[in-house]
Structure 1
Amino acid sequence: MAELPSGDPPDPEEGVPAPPSSAPGCARLQAVEPVLLLATLALGLQSPLLTQYLWTRLANGTRSGGGGCVNGSGSGDTPGQQDVESLVAHWNLYINLAGFFVGLFSVTLFGPWSDSVGRRPVLILPALGMALQAAAYLLVMYLKLPVGYLLVGRILSGLSGDYNLILAGCFAYVADVSDKRTRTFRVAVLEACLGLAGMAASIIGGQWRKAEGYLAPFWLVFAASVCAALYAALCLRESVLQRRPGRLFTLRHYMSVYHLYVDPCRGRAWKKLALYSLAFFLLITVHFGTRDILVLYELSSPLCWDSELIGYGLAAQYLTYLTSLAGLWLLQKCVADTWVAEMGLLSNILGLGVIALAATTPLMFTGYGLLFLSMAATPVIRSKLSKLVNETEQGALFAAVACTEGLCSLVATGVFNSLFPASLHFMKGFPFLFGVALLLLPAAVLGWIEIQDSKPEYSHFEDLPSPVQEVVD
């Protein structure tokens, strides 16, 4: 990848280097992190609150206060509570499906387009789409419309690329402005922003919902989405050095994503690209799937958490992004990136195993504690994928990664939200054990690639003549 110069990058609109003060209004910055922070804050507030809102609406007033059990006693599931759990899980499935089917195609359209026109447009558009989604949800709440109208907001957000396009744009931006040596840590910093914003959203959302209901937090979702769009439009410097006009509605964008995986000129890189994508798919599927059902798992017996405890639990979950960043920084000094990812997978396996068996609040938080390194694997895989393609393919690559994340969300929502109600009668924590089994596969894939990559290096050194042999010759 061509590295950016140490000074100010060229202004893509002029084609020549621009001084720092050339941008009117506020100085253009080369920090994409605020966009991701604001968008993640919006998503982190919205997702658990929407689940709780669905629980409240679909329970038809049978549960009181902020507790998580319909009967309020916490003594066990009743048939009525199980019906509510199943309804909420299925509505989560329908709402997510509505957005992901649309977003799967819009992300792969906008991502490669950004390689030509720049990253800023693909950050502005999905942020505005998230604002429209929040506005639609507020209308449902104010007017007490049927919950089916929530699908409208989800589809609007999906058409604009949704949160996955913001992820794709931000990671492509970081790939544009970093070199291969520092990229893994830069990607990890960006992922730590996910945890920082998610942790803040979890604490704010739980406390605020308990104090004032659902409307005020959703207004913050709307405001954060609008602020993300404004920052990308007014304050963010473009990272694509040579912008050129490009048609949006063309099959060429989809073909550029397709050629990432079928171009015969890539040689061995093609296999590694496919294997890393498979490992990423399985890992993110488990992340999304377990996260989808965690709030529902905590609301129901035997835990029966209220919104405040749910907020603390989500904050502990998001804290793993920060602890994983610190662990990655320390471990990179002594082991290869792949083995850092393997340690992260082990942390994930242990944490989910404890959560699956948690019947008390202390044991549940113990499971969260064991997840302290669980997010170290994803930045390693993103970085390794980025290093396998050219600088002009970063948008297409991260569109493919975002497409994979959309597919992960689709599969995770379908599998875990269907598995959860189906397992209520024999073991409520079974979906988490299922996630543990899935994580063994990416651990095997990453280890195999690292071992295969090390063999040519060792054989290369074995073939080199020793100093003694050179002297004799």
Structure 2
Amino acid sequence: MTAIKSLRHLVTVEPVSFLFFTSLFLQNGGGQQFIFYKLCYLEYNLTDVCWNLTLGQKMDQYQDIEDYTISATAHWMIYMNLPLTIPAIFTTICFGGWSDKYGRKPMMIIPAVGFLIMSIFQMFQVLRMDMPLGITLIGNFIAGMSGGFVTITFATFSYIADITTKENRTLRIGILQSMTFSSSIVGLLTSGVIVQNREYGFLLLYCLIALLNILIVVYTQFWLLESIGPNTDPYFQTIRTTEEKETETTSRPSEVSEIECKTCFSDMWSPRNFKIVYRDVMKKRQHFDRFILFLLFVSLFILQMVLAGDNQMFALYAKDSFHLSPAQTGYFTASKNAVLFLFTVLGVWLLRKFNLNEMRCCSLSFIVFLSGYIGFSLAKSESTLWAMLILLSPSGLVGGIIRGAISRTVGPDEQGSIFAAMSSMENLMVFVAAFMFNILYPVTKDILNGGFVYFVMAELLIIPLILTMWVGDLLKYTAAYKYMNEPANIVINPDL
């Protein structure tokens, strides 16, 4: 029993993140193919033609069908993402302040249930091909109101912040972030294999998505220990108490009883939670902590915008400039995520092993990272793209370092609010990137063989490079100030 309990303290939210984002990448990878096939079927009722076009076969005699379906699919992807992501921004902010008082586990169960309901709606779409596609928007809206991946992101990172000390937090956050890269490899490759089956592929895809989210609910309910609230595990409570003693200012909410916790779900969507998040983000802090927090926020948001722009643009850039097939593009994307996963895990281990200066390593990683995008913009062959993966590998590490630094800057009872605000703004940056780079690419595709957008991404990364260097200097100044002006804690042994 002791070994099992120790394992429950060690393996916590990493499986939740892996399972959920695997289901999300299955949805992104195979879901778009299903929408393409369904729209073609609803408009033309040519099952063989629509299936061949879905598989990427080139048929000149049906070019008009392909053109219509591509355009319709692009529009429907926007329609289906809006109810899935926009409500999640506001829902997550509400959940953030709530979770700081009542617990993190509900914030992982609710999004999984929402995605389970969405997958059921999609199963009906597969079973009834004549059903209007718009009905699916109901399931997407339910998933969006449950918080979706935005809530899962803030909940898992907040949980790690609850159960770690400042010394090992960056390591655990880096490992958690690497789950996204590993799940993308599994999700994208698996979805490509599953949808090849014409008879059962799409149904199996959505059944698998449903199964993964059921596993999240079961795992979270019966394995995961609560990190905050009245049901906090004693081991985690010890860590939390230590963190509170080391924190100069805390905003610890009043304790709640277990009965109150069971009757508090009506407060989840309360507008008061917006005020709590705003208060925690904007509150005055000692020394330069609030300014450091803003600098780290801006750095993370620009990083997220660049990464989202890369995800938006690479398939089009690879097709237009290097004539890569969808399969080749998929292999490259999976390989890139594998490299990011390995480098992130290795990087955070080296940081902890040799006690390296995190912000200095972060700034150095930004230099290497933006050099990779410059290489992308100047690439003339596919082999150059593969070579640039080495330079792009630190992108996952910098995100982990920045999130760890943000977590250490705020108090233990502000983690949920801060990560909720952070995740919501990161989600907003995805929309900004989609809007900006999709407008920029068509008008600059003749510059640098289509790579001008990656040159712009490299230029944008100069901003967080400067800001993280600035943060490093401020942290050194703050540490020196504390050393010079605060008395040391001297413990006198009464037995002497």
**Fold shared per TM-score above 0.5:** yes
Equivalent residue letter for 2:336: Q
The 8 Å contact of residues 169 and 395 in structure 1, kept in 2 or not, is answered as yes
Structure 2 counterpart of 1:364, from 385, 390, 413 = 385
The 8 Å contact of residues 280 and 381 in structure 1, kept in 2 or not, is answered as yes
Equivalent residue letter for 1:47: N
Spell out the pairing of 1:137-152 with structure 2 (5 A cutoff): 137-144=122-129, 145=131, 147-152=133-138
TM-score calculated relative to the size of structure 1: 0.81
Specify whether residues 208 and 249 from structure 1 end up closer, same or farther in structure 2 by C-alpha distance, changes over 3 A only. Answer: closer
Q: Which residue in the other structure is 1:13 paired with?
A: none
Partner of 2:461, secondary structure, is helix
Structure 1 counterpart of 2:213, from 203, 212, 225 = 225
Q: Which residue in the other structure is 2:425 paired with?
A: 404
Residues 1-37 of structure 1: CA distance to partner in whole angstroms, max 9, x if unpaired? xxxxxx99xxxxxxxxxx959xxxx989861111111
Give the Cα separation in 2 of the matches to 1:297 and 1:382: 30
Residues 96-116 of structure 1: CA distance to partner in whole angstroms, max 9, x if unpaired? 333222111000111211112
1:84, CA displacement in angstroms? 6.5
Spell out the pairing of 1:201-350 with structure 2 (5 A cutoff): 201-212=187-198, 213-242=201-230, 244=256, 245=260, 246=264, 247-266=267-286, 268-298=288-318, 302-306=322-326, 308-319=327-338, 320-331=340-351, 333=354, 335-350=356-371
Give the Cα separation in 2 of the matches to 1:190 and 1:149: 35
Q: Which residue in the other structure is 1:103 paired with?
A: 88
Q: Which residue in the other structure is 2:116 paired with?
A: 131
Specify whether residues 237 and 347 from structure 1 end up closer, same or farther in structure 2 by C-alpha distance, changes over 3 A only. Answer: same
1:278, CA displacement in angstroms? 0.9
Structure 1 or 2: larger helix share?
2
Give the Cα separation in 1 of the matches to 2:207 and 2:117: 12
Equivalent residue letter for 1:111: G
Aligned residues: CA RMSD: 3.5
Q: Which residue in the other structure is 2:13 paired with?
A: 32
Partner of 1:264, secondary structure, is coil
Spell out the pairing of 1:140-179 with structure 2 (5 A cutoff): 140-144=125-129, 145=131, 147-179=133-165
List runs of 5+ in structure 1 lacking aligned partners: 1-6, 9-18, 73-77, 464-473
Equivalent residue letter for 2:474: Q
Give the Cα separation in 2 of the matches to 1:27 and 1:302: 47
Give the Cα separation in 2 of the matches to 1:343 and 1:118: 37
Partner of 1:256, secondary structure, is helix
List runs of 5+ in structure 2 lacking aligned partners: 232-255, 486-496
Partner of 2:396, secondary structure, is coil
Give the Cα separation in 1 of the matches to 2:332 and 2:318: 9
The 8 Å contact of residues 55 and 196 in structure 2, kept in 1 or not, is answered as no
Residues 127-164 of structure 1: CA distance to partner in whole angstroms, max 9, x if unpaired? 11112222233333443345544433332211000011
Specify whether residues 293 and 305 from structure 1 end up closer, same or farther in structure 2 by C-alpha distance, changes over 3 A only. Answer: same
Equivalent residue letter for 1:329: W
Task: Single out whichever of 384-393 and 206-215 deviates more from structure 2.
Answer: 206-215
Spell out the pairing of 1:33-72 with structure 2 (5 A cutoff): 33-55=14-36, 61=49, 64=52
Q: Which residue in the other structure is 1:453 paired with?
A: 475
TM-score calculated relative to the size of structure 2: 0.77
Residues 425-466 of structure 1: CA distance to partner in whole angstroms, max 9, x if unpaired? 765444333322221111111111112332455688899xxx
Give the Cα separation in 1 of the matches to 2:112 and 2:319: 30
The 8 Å contact of residues 322 and 382 in structure 2, kept in 1 or not, is answered as no
Equivalent residue letter for 2:458: V
Give the Cα separation in 2 of the matches to 1:85 and 1:450: 47
Give the Cα separation in 2 of the matches to 1:80 and 1:268: 59
Equivalent residue letter for 2:332: G
Task: Single out whichever of 330-339 and 145-154 deviates more from structure 2.
Answer: 145-154
